[in-house]
Every structure is written in structure tokens, then in C-alpha cells.
């Protein structure tokens, strides 16, 4: 059980659960086009057991039962994403079946009294656009805006909120520098271009949706607290650099129209010509900002090439991902983002949760570690609200076990257990804990 109740939060505070299209829908259904994750997964060595999202949780056919589970737990909102490759299989041409699916999904949410919180882009770039350079190509700004127009032209009138991009750092750095996500590049120049273009595409999509009358537009930034490995100045610098390229870069671009000095010094030669001229678009006003938070990293310096640092193992309890449980970081980010970047703008925790090696025993999944994780992070949320942070909602990641990208189906983040053989759903103890807390 949680030590918190709905009544401990401000009136109207939204509780929701989050998922994303490729991770749950079943990409082989409904005429979706090839996505860069299909290509990445088909390349040996990229994904555990070379698993892909072809079937995933088959949410495409089971969405009504999944929304029933969300509603039965007492959640107010559903954060879902719209697959670009489903709506536009070649990235440019509309697939009516794709639009119809999100139309049905929207109506099913509204019928249950759930607030639809859409995210335009949660990573399934159509392969045809990856062929053209994907996030390295400046044209992606217009392509994303065209996709936004197509999907929001159909469902935008019924959305509670719309986010442009999920996790700018993952789209750019994790996928083009570290190479752990599609398209799996390890290229500093591609990285700098993707870092800038993802912000430009965000701002361009915001402007297009504003022109269409879409309401309550925001963006979702993932953040990882950076802790120096020791008391040395070099370790402090290692953590500050990590903090700059992971956390500050995207919010600084979107809310201040500037990039951190350390990043310009390191990557400036690789940024596209004229990048400074794009800030009027990148800073298109937003109605809210979302923060996805899971853990911290402990950074130590090294003599290698930029960024001259590496993460070292920390002492705290770890999740199935090997990530330390550090709720203080969520509190500190909420306070920092409000005070340094967003002021009175409504903030949301748009993802927070943990992977756990859950097992189904006699119809029960007793995921006590996840209950403890949610409980400690909900306390961090309450502490931030008490300090005056204008936090308006909290979305748990995730409604159900799903495709954890390069880690396949092995890492379980869900409040609902999914048997990936039978696709049977079983609410876990954490789902019941939310249900009890949200009713109180
Ligand atoms: O599963 C992912 C999700 O797609 C984006 N945020 C982090 C989650 C857990 O790794």
C-alpha cells in the first residue's frame, strides 16, 4: 500500500498512466509502415533476442480492455503516443486505417471519462524518412509538422493535452552518440545535428498545431540527476557536463533560446549552419512541460575523448535496469525546472516507474519493490508541491509490461503483468495499490 492518498494532493491533480505506440500496439497490424525500430531490431546484436514490436501487447486489438484496467484503477488520464509510421507508413502519405485507430482509441478514452494525453513522437520514425537522414536532416522539422497536422486534424479536437516529442535526449544523444537506440549511430556530428533538429522539429510542430487550434500543447523532457563521483573539481566538472548535455540542453533551448556554453564549445563545429537563427521557432510558447524521471548517474572524469567521463556504479538499491532508486532527484528536478526555466507554467511528471523481475504466482504478482518505488517518488512529488512547484499531475510508467526497446520484453515496467505468450493481462499489487490510494 502507498502511504499517500489522492486527498493528499491538490484538488484536480491528475493521476495517469503512460505507454507508447511501438511498445504496446503491435506494429504489424493496421497497415503501419516499416519503422526504424524494425530495422534496428533486425540487425544482429542491437536488441536482446532480436525482439521487435510486431505484436508487442496487441493493444491494437485489445485497447478497450486495457482502458478498462486504467479506469478500474481510478486513473484520470491516459498518456499514449501516436505512431508516425502507422499514420504515415512512408512518412508522408496518410494511412486511413492509422487515423481510424487513433480515432477509436480517443473515443474509447472519452467514453470511460479518461483524459487523452497524446504524444506525437515516441520514436517510431518511418524507415523511409530514416533513409533520408532522419533526425540529421533539417527537413524533418517540416515532416514532423505535416505528421502533426495529419493526426491532430483527426483527433486534436478531443485531446486533453498534446506533447510534441517524448524524451529529446533519447531521440538525439542515446540514438546518435551512444548508439543504444535506433538508428544506432555513434557519430558526434550526427548527434549535434539531431540535438538541434529535434528542437527545431518540436517548435515547428508547435507552430503548426497552434495554427490548427490545438489546445494545451507541451513537450516531454527526460532527466537524470548527475552526481559527482567524489569531491574533486574534475568529478564536479564531469557531472556538470553530463547535466548540461542530458538535462539542460533541451529545456534551455526550448525555454531560454540558448544552449549551454559547455555544449556549444564541444559541439558547436558540428551544429548545422545558422543554428542560432532557429530559436524563435524552437522557443514557440508552450502550455505545459513534462518531466520523465527514473534515476541518477554518478559521473567520474577520464582521459578519453569528449565527453571525457564515464558513469560509475552507485551504492543505492537498484531496479531490474540496474538503475539506482533516487527519489530526491525527482524533487530536485521539479524545483530546479520551475525556478530556472518554466516559472508558473504547469509541470507534469509524465513518466516515473521501475522495471522489476516480476513473477506471476497463482495469479498474483507481488511487486512490492515497485510499490515502494512509486511511494517514495510520490513523496518527492508532494515535497515539491509543498515548495510551490506548479505540478499538475503524475503519470506512472507504465500501464503494462511492454517492449523495452533494446532490452526487448525482458524488463518489466508495468503495473499490469503481460504474459507475452498468451497476451493475458494480470493487474499487479502496484496496480491495486494505486487503486486503493486513488479511491481515498
Ligand atoms: O520504456 C521507456 C519509455 O519508452 C521512455 N522512457 C523510459 C522508459 C523506461 O526505459
- Tell the burial category of 28 from Cβ atoms under 10 Å away from its Cβ (0-12, 13-18, 19+): middle
Task: Read off the pLDDT of residues 143-191 as tens digits, 9 standing for 90 and up.
Answer: 999 999 999 999 999 999 999 999 999 999 999 999 999 999 999 999 9
CA quadruple 22, 27, 31, 33: dihedral sign: positive
Q: Atom 2 of ligand 1 has which residue's CA nearest to it?
A: 404
CB 105 within 8 A of CB 159: no
Burial 83-95 (b: 16+ CB within 10 A, else e): bbbbbbbebeebb
Place of cell 538525439: 172
CA dihedral 175, 46, 318, 251 (to 10 degrees): 10
Q: With CA atoms as reference, report the closest residue to 208 among 289, 252, 262, 144.
A: 144
- Tell the burial category of 405 from Cβ atoms under 10 Å away from its Cβ (0-12, 13-18, 19+): buried
- DSSP calls for 249-311: HHHHHHHHS---HHHHHHHGGGSPTTGGGGHHHHT---SEEEEEEEEEEEEEE-SSSTT-EEE
Angle at 159 between CA 216 and CA 123, to 5 degrees: 90
Task: Read off the pLDDT of residues 24-75 as tens digits, 9 standing for 90 and up.
Answer: 999 999 999 999 999 999 999 999 999 999 999 999 999 999 999 999 999 9
Q: Is residue 351 within 6 Å of ligand 1 at its C-beta?
A: yes
CB 31 within 8 A of CB 178: no
- For residues 135 and 172, give the distance between their C-alpha atoms in angstroms, rounded to a whole number: 8
Distances in Å between the Cα of 271 and the Cα atoms of 172, 261, 429 are: 13, 13, 48
Whole-number Å distance, alpha carbon 406 to ligand 1 midpoint, is: 11
Whole-number Å distance, alpha carbon 403 to ligand 1 midpoint, is: 9
Q: Is residue 320 within 6 Å of ligand 1 at its C-beta?
A: no
Burial 215-229 (b: 16+ CB within 10 A, else e): eebbbbbbbbbbbbb
- DSSP calls for 45-61: TSSGGG--SSSTT-HHH
Whole-number Å distance, alpha carbon 220 to ligand 1 midpoint, is: 12
pTM value > 0.75: yes
Catalytic entry in 25, 51, 124, 167? 167
Task: Read off the pLDDT of residues 216-275 as tens digits, 9 standing for 90 and up.
Answer: 999 999 999 999 999 999 999 999 999 999 999 999 999 999 999 999 999 999 999 999
CB 370 within 8 A of CB 17: no
Task: Read off the pLDDT of residues 412-439 as tens digits, 9 standing for 90 and up.
Answer: 999 999 999 999 999 999 999 999 999 9
Count of CB atoms within 10 A of residue 17's CB? Answer: 29
Q: What is the DSSP letter of 191?
A: H
Q: Is residue 39 within 6 Å of ligand 1 at its C-beta?
A: no
Mapped onto helix, strand or coil, the DSSP state of residue 392 is strand
List of residues 6+ apart from 8 with CB closer than 8 A: 382
| Atom from ligand 1 closest to the CA of residue 122 | 4
| Atom from ligand 1 closest to the CA of residue 404 | 1
Hey, which residues does 126 pair with through a beta bridge? Answer: 35
Q: Give pLDDT, residue 90.
A: 98
CA quadruple 383, 386, 390, 392: dihedral sign: positive
In the chain, domain spans: 6-438
| Atom from ligand 1 closest to the CA of residue 222 | 6
Tell me the backbone φ, ψ of residue 216, rounded to 5 degrees.
Answer: 55, 65
Q: Is residue 404 within 6 Å of ligand 1 at its C-beta?
A: yes
Mapped onto helix, strand or coil, the DSSP state of residue 38 is helix
Give percent of the chain above pLDDT 70: 100
- For residues 277 and 193, give the distance between their C-alpha atoms in angstroms, rounded to a whole number: 14
351 assigned to active site: yes
CB 298 within 8 A of CB 311: yes
Q: Atom 10 of ligand 1 has which residue's CA nearest to it?
A: 404
CB 138 within 8 A of CB 198: no
Q: Give pLDDT, residue 367.
A: 98
Q: Give pLDDT, residue 194.
A: 99
167 assigned to active site: yes
| Atom from ligand 1 closest to the CA of residue 355 | 9
Q: Which CATH superfamily is domain 6-438 in?
A: Glycosidases (3.20.20.80)
List of residues 6+ apart from 315 with CB closer than 8 A: none
Amino acid at each position: 500500500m502507498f502511504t499517500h492518498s489522492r486527498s493528499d494532493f491538490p484538488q484536480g491533480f491528475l493521476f495517469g498512466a503512460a505507454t507508447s505506440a511501438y511498445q504496446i500496439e503491435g506494429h504489424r497490424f493496421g497497415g503501419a509502415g516499416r519503422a526504424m525500430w524494425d530495422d534496428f531490431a533486425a540487425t544482429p546484436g542491437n536488441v536482446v533476442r532480436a525482439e521487435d514490436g510486431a505484436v508487442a501487447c496487441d493493444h491494437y486489438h485489445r485497447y478497450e480492455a486495457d482502458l478498462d484496467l486504467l479506469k478500474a484503477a481510478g486513473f484520470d488520464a491516459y498518456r499514449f503516443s501516436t505512431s508516425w509510421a502507422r499514420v504515415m507508413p512512408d512518412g508522408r502519405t496518410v494511412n486511413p486505417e492509422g487515423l481510424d485507430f487513433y480515432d477509436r482509441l480517443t473515443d474509447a478514452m472519452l467514453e470511460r471519462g479518461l483524459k487523452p494525453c497524446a504524444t506525437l513522437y515516441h520514436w517510431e520514425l518511418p524507415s523511409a524518412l530514416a533513409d533520408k537522414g532522419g533526425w540529421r536532416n533539417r527537413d524533418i522539422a517540416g515532416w514532423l509538422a505535416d505528421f502533426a497536422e495529419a493526426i491532430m486534424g483527426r483527433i486534436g479536437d478531443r485531446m486533453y493535452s498534446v506533447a510534441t516529442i517524448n524524451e529529446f535526449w533519447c531521440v538525439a544523444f542515446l540514438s546518435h552518440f551512444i548508439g543504444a537506440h535506433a538508428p544506432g549511430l555513434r557519430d558526434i556530428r550526427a548527434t549535434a545535428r539531431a540535438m538541434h533538429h529535434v528542437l527545431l522539429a518540436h517548435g515547428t510542430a508547435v507552430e503548426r498545431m497552434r495554427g490548427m487550434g490545438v489546445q494545451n500543447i507541451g513537450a516531454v523532457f527526460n532527466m537524470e540527476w548527475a552526481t559527482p563521483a567524489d569531491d574533486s573539481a574534475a568529478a564536479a566538472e564531469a557531472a556538470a557536463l553530463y547535466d548540461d548535455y542530458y538535462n539542460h540542453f533541451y529545456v534551455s533551448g526550448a525555454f531560454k533560446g540558448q544552449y549551454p556554453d559547455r555544449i556549444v564549445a564541444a559541439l558547436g563545429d558540428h551544429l548545422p549552419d545558422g543554428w542560432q537563427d532557429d530559436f524563435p521557432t524552437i522557443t514557440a510558447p508552450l502550455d505545459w512541460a513534462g518531466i520523465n524521471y527514473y534515476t541518477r548517474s554518478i559521473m567520474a572524469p577520464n582521459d578519453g575523448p569528449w565527453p571525457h567521463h564515464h558513469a560509475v556504479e552507485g551504492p543505492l538499491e537498484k531496479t531490474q535496469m540496474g538503475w539506482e532508486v533516487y527519489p530526491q532527484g525527482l524533487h530536485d528536478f521539479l524545483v530546479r525546472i520551475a525556478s530556472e526555466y518554466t516559472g508558473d507554467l504547469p509541470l507534469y511528471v509524465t513518466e516515473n516507474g521501475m522495471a522489476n523481475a516480476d513473477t506471476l504466482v497463482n495469479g498474483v504478482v507481488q511487486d512490492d519493490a515497485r510499490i515502494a518505488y512509486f511511494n517514495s517518488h510520490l513523496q518527492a512529488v508532494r515535497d515539491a508541491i509543498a515548495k510551490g512547484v506548479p505540478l499538475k499531475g503524475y503519470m506512472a510508467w507504465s500501464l503494462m509490461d511492454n517492449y523495452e526497446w533494446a532490452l526487448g520484453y525482458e524488463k518489466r515496467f508495468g503495473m499490469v503483468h503481460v504474459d507475452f505468450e498468451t497476451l493475458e493481462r494480470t493487474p499487479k499489487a502496484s496496480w491495486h495499490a494505486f487503486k486503493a490510494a486513488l479511491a481515498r
